[in-house]
Amino acid sequence: MPEPLRFGIIYHIYNRGVNRCNLFNQKANYLYFLKLFTKHVAPITDVYAYCLLPNHFHFLLRIKEVSEILADWPGVHVKEPKQYFSNMFNAYARSFNNRYGRTGSLFQRPFGRIPVTSDAYFLTLITYIHRNPQKHGLVDDFRNWPYSSYDTIISDKPTRLDKTAVLEWFDGRDNYIDMHRTDPDETHIETLIGGDQT
């Protein structure tokens, strides 16, 4: 069993469909998952990067300290971090199963969570997450995949992503773009997550 999620820690959060089944069959599925993430998980996290693919997903985020959550939600009862993710997964699975006439579990359990403990790993992980659709042959150019945070981070549009922090870690927009031009060294990441997520 993985260690419990802790407040104040940056994590690589990932999961895939049980038996490698699809989690997302059409655009509406991706958008609904992000809507549920915004409702259940975003309020207790700082989100740095994400990518949703047909049968798996990746998020890079920091779970806020309890004091930060209470500053945003005065008087709320703060639950264990895992519960917010479970609520999102359960709500999505119910909707997905109902829509496609399936039953049973949709997500693998437990979902993956790896603490991010160095700046170098943080930078590598963001590039890895964004380039994932190209790695898996879903698109010829990862920048054309619509369900990732790559474009949002360099866009001027309002967003819940903490793109300021991301661009500071990359020493600016130009370096962020440049470091995404080549595949990162995935050896450490693949070792930690137990191999290919598709």
> How many angstroms separate the CA atoms of 74 and 85, rounded?
21
What does the pLDDT read at residue 184?
81
In a domain, 170, yes or no: yes
> How many angstroms separate the CA atoms of 112 and 13, rounded?
6
Q: How far is CA 83 from CA 6, 18, 80, in A?
A: 12, 20, 6
What does the pLDDT read at residue 126?
96
> How many angstroms separate the CA atoms of 58 and 164, rounded?
20
- Note down the domain range covering 85: 10-193
Tokens of 83: 């519960």
In a domain, 62, yes or no: yes
In a domain, 2, yes or no: no
> How many angstroms separate the CA atoms of 20 and 17, rounded?
5
CATH number for the domain including 36?
3.30.70.1290
What does the pLDDT read at residue 73?
86
* pLDDT beneath 50, residues of the chain: 197-198
What does the pLDDT read at residue 198?
46
- Residues 53-69 have pLDDT tens digits of 999 999 999 999 999 99
In a domain, 5, yes or no: no
In a domain, 4, yes or no: no
Number of domains in the chain: 1
Cβ atoms of 126 and 49 within 8 Å: the answer is yes
In a domain, 106, yes or no: yes
Cβ atoms of 58 and 176 within 8 Å: the answer is no
What does the pLDDT read at residue 191?
63
Question: CB under 8 Å to 24, separation ≥6 — which residues?
Answer: 30, 33, 52, 53, 54, 55, 147
In a domain, 108, yes or no: yes
Cβ atoms of 22 and 113 within 8 Å: the answer is no
In a domain, 198, yes or no: no
Half-sphere exposure of 78 (CA within 13 A, CB side): 19
